Amino acid sequence: MSAVHADGNTSTDLRYLEHASRPLDENITLTKIGLKDGHYDFFVDMFFKAYDNENIIEQWVEIRQAEKKAVTLYDFASSQLTLRAGDFWLTQFAGDWGNEMNLIEECLTRGTKIIASKLLTRATRFVNPSFIVSLSAPASEDTGEVLGASLAWPGNFSLRFEITNEGDLRIISGMNPIGSHYKLEAGTVFATPPLVFSYNNNGIGHISRNFHCWARKYGIRQGDKAGSTVFNNWETTGFDFNEKKLAGLMAEAAQAGLELFLLDDGWFGAKHPRDGDAAGLGDWAVNAKKLPGGISYLVKEAARNGIKLGLWIEPEMVNPPSELFEQHPDWVLAQPYRAHDLVRNQLVLDLTNPAVQEFILKVVDGLLNENPGIKYLKWDCNRQVTHGGSMHLPPEEQSHLWIEYPRALMSLFSKVSKSHPDVVMMLCSAGGGRLEYGSLQYFHEYWPSDNTDALQRLFIQWGCSYFFPAISICTFVSGVPHIYTGRSMPLKFRFDAAMAGKLGMDLPLSGLSVEELEFTKRAIAEYKRLRDVIMFGDLFRLVSPYEKNFCSMLYGSQDQSRAIFFCFLLHRHLGETYPPIKLKGIGPDKKYLVREVNRMPDSKSAFGEEKLISGEELVNQGINLNFKNEYDSIVLELTEK
Ligand code: DGJ
The CA 452 to ligand 1 mean position distance, Å, reads: 12
Q: What digits encode the pLDDT tens for the residues 459-489?
A: 999 999 999 999 999 999 999 999 999 999 9
In this model, does residue 237 exceed pLDDT 90?
yes
567: number of Cβ within 10 Å: 24
Tell me the average pLDDT across 301-320. Answer: 98
pLDDT of residue 445: 98
* 349-402 pLDDT tens trace: 999 999 999 999 999 999 999 999 999 999 999 999 999 999 999 999 999 999
Identify the CATH homologous superfamily for domain 540-640. Answer: Golgi alpha-mannosidase II (2.60.40.1180)
Is the CB–ligand 1 distance for residue 404 below 6 Å? no
Q: Does domain 238-313+339-384+406-535 have CATH number 3.50.50.60?
A: no
For helices 514-536 and 243-256, angle between their N-to-C axes, nearest 10 degrees:
70
Ligand 1, atom 9: closest residue by C-alpha = 430
Measure the CA–CA gap between 117 and 137, rounded to whole angstroms: 28
Mean pLDDT of 49-71: 97
Ligand 1 centre to CA of 380 (Å) is 7
Please state the rounded mean pLDDT for residues 94-110. Answer: 97
pLDDT at 502: 98
Q: In this structure, which residue's CA is closest to atom 11 in ligand 1? A: 265
Identify the bridge partners of residue 49 per DSSP, sorted by sequence position.
30, 58
**Please, which pLDDT band fits residue 577 given cuts at 50, 70 and 90?**
confident
Residue minimizing CA distance to atom 4 of ligand 1: 430
Are 409 and 330 contacting, i.e. CB atoms less than 8 angstroms apart? no
Provide the pLDDT confidence category of residue 31 given band limits of 50, 70 and 90. Answer: very high
Which amino acid, one-letter code, is at 121?
A: T
Q: CB of 54 closer than 6 A to ligand 1? A: no
How confident is residue 47, by pLDDT bands cut at 50, 70 and 90?
very high
Q: φ and ψ at 445, to 5 degrees?
A: -155, 170
Closest C-alpha to ligand 1, atom 3: 430
What pLDDT sits at residue 139?
86
Integer angstrom CA distances of residue 113 from 107, 117, 166, 202, 317: 11, 13, 16, 26, 33
DSSP state of 315: T
User: 453: CA distance to ligand 1 center in Å?
Assistant: 15
Distance between Cα 364 and ligand 1 center (Å): 18
The domain ranges of the chain are: 2-219, 238-313+339-384+406-535, 540-640
Looking at the chain, the whole-number percentage of residues with pLDDT higher than 90 is 98
Tell me how far CA of residue 7 lies from CA of 67, 180, 188, 189, 512, in angstroms.
9, 21, 18, 20, 72
Q: Under a CB-based contact definition with an 8 Å cutoff, are residues 519 and 492 in contact?
A: yes
Cα of 487 from ligand 1 centre, angstroms: 20
Query: How far apart are the two ends of the chain, measured CA to CA in Å?
Result: 58
> What ligand 1 atom has the least distance to the C-alpha of 431?
3
Residue 271, classed as helix, strand or coil, is: coil
Annotation: CATH topology of 2-219: Beta-galactosidase; Chain A, domain 5 (2.70.98)
Confidence tier at 601 by pLDDT (50, 70, 90): confident
Res 603: pLDDT: 87
Band the pLDDT of 636: cuts 50, 70, 90. Answer: very high
Taking residues 85-106, what's their average pLDDT? Answer: 97
Q: Report the nearest atom of ligand 1 relative to the CA of 430.
A: 3
Q: Are 157 and 93 in contact (CB under 8 A)?
A: no
**Would the pLDDT of 604 be above 90?**
no
Bridge partners (DSSP) listed for residue 308: 260
> Cβ–Cβ contacts within 10 Å for residue 513, how many?
9
The reported pLDDT for the residue numbered 36 is 98
Cβ–ligand 1 distance for 312 under 6 Å, the answer yes
Q: What is the pLDDT of residue 602?
A: 84
For residue 138, what pLDDT is reported?
Answer: 92
477-532 per-position pLDDT tens digit: 999 999 999 999 999 999 999 999 999 999 999 999 999 999 999 999 999 999 99
